[in-house]
Structure 1
Amino acid sequence: MEVTGFKGVGALIVSFVIYLIDVINEAVVVLIFFMLLDVITGLLRSWVTKSWDSPIGFSGVVKKVGIFAMIGMAAAIEYMVMSVGQDPKGMMLLGVTSFFIVNEGISILENCAQIGLPIPAVLFNALEKMHRDPSGKEQRLVRSPMLDRIDKKELLKENEALLHQLNKKKEEEETK
């Protein structure tokens, strides 16, 4: 329930912003772009993790077709409302599309995290919490243990120590 609530709030915010800037038709274009990015990052993730699985890929394509079916349903309902003289101003279509934009964005973020890209701790923790929920994505988010150990201050200290060692070796070689 928390996952759906999170996506719903995200969709509400995206819907409101899109409504304010009056780009209702462009929301579908953004959704298609996000779907394309999701497919690309999904392929990269499966390549990096060496986990090619045709049924999972096919399932993703089927889900994306289902998304367009739901958007079509929302458009049909809006058309029906407009045919009786009401003006929904595209809000139903915008809300449904925004929900799926948020959903695709989360999937892209998950794919990037599984590839090994550094994800801010706040976002990573939110993704991890979503995966504890049974209604979350079917695969658990895997992050490289190396990324958990990285602390910027420690990394700077290690870089300084390595630089000092390199300079020391360079000086020793020059004195020989």
Structure 2
Amino acid sequence: METTGIKGLGALVISFIIYLIDVVNEAIVVLVFFMLLDVITGLMRSWVTKSWDSTIGFSGIVKKIGVFIMIGMAAAIEYMVMAAGQDPKGLMLLGVTSFFIVNEGLSILENCAQIGLPIPAVLFNALAKMHRDPAGKELRLARHPMLDRIDKKELLKENEALQHQLLKQKEEEKKNEN
């Protein structure tokens, strides 16, 4: 209960500071919405492609937290400029946030393409080019083809059969010892 109180107090203080420096604007709301859509389409993609990987999912969450840290840095610099008597008119914060909105939009588009939704050829080709380094090497992780052939239910049945067989062997060993 004490931890919850500390977290609640921290959230209250941070919310008040954000209110005072007027950091929350429409662009950040759009960014949060796009991040939510990216997570949802990413989960859908992993389900459709049968490539569920918690490590990739966790690293995506860490990156999204890093995005907010960078936006916080831009807001702090903008606040510093305002304190010096200049009016940046929110352009720095808007620029950083807009960059990440575009980034999330591309990620949503990639997820939708991998799910199998029809993507215009121009966008599909652009996405394909983005995933190659200048030497033409593919940067995206490819799923091993053997994983497509593995049926999870069959694997579980085989595992149960092996466990049953091991139990029988142990029982026979005990009988032979006596």
The runs of at least 4 consecutive aligned structure 1 residues that moved more than 6 Å come to 134-137
> What's 1:28 paired with?
28
Give 1 or 2 for the bigger CA radius of gyration.
2
Normalising by structure 2, we get a TM-score of 0.63
5+ residue gaps, structure 1, are 1-23, 141-176
For 1:111 and 1:126, the matched residues in 2 are separated by 14
Deviations 1:15-39 (A, max 9, x none): xxxxxxxxx8100000000000000
Give matches, 1:92-171, under 5 Å: 92-133=92-133, 138-139=140-141
* Counterpart AA for 2:141: Q
> What's 1:68 paired with?
68
> What's 1:163 paired with?
none
> What's 1:86 paired with?
86
Relative to 1, partners in 2 of residues 1:94 and 1:136: Cα closer, same or farther, differing over 3 Å?
A: farther
Q: Is contact 1:81–1:88 with CA below 8 Å preserved after alignment?
A: yes
Higher relative CO (Cα under 8 Å, sequence separation at least 6) belongs to: 1
> What's 1:59 paired with?
59
Q: Is contact 1:71–1:97 with CA below 8 Å preserved after alignment?
A: yes
Q: Is contact 1:130–1:136 with CA below 8 Å preserved after alignment?
A: no
Normalising by structure 1, we get a TM-score of 0.63
* Counterpart AA for 1:57: G
Deviations 1:35-58 (A, max 9, x none): 000000000000000000000000
Q: Is contact 2:132–2:139 with CA below 8 Å preserved after alignment?
A: no
May I ask how many residue pairs the two structures share in their alignment?
Answer: 117
- What percentage of aligned pairs have identical amino acids? 83
For 2:42 and 2:85, the matched residues in 1 are separated by 44
5+ residue gaps, structure 2, are 1-23, 143-178
* Counterpart AA for 2:90: G
* Counterpart AA for 2:98: S
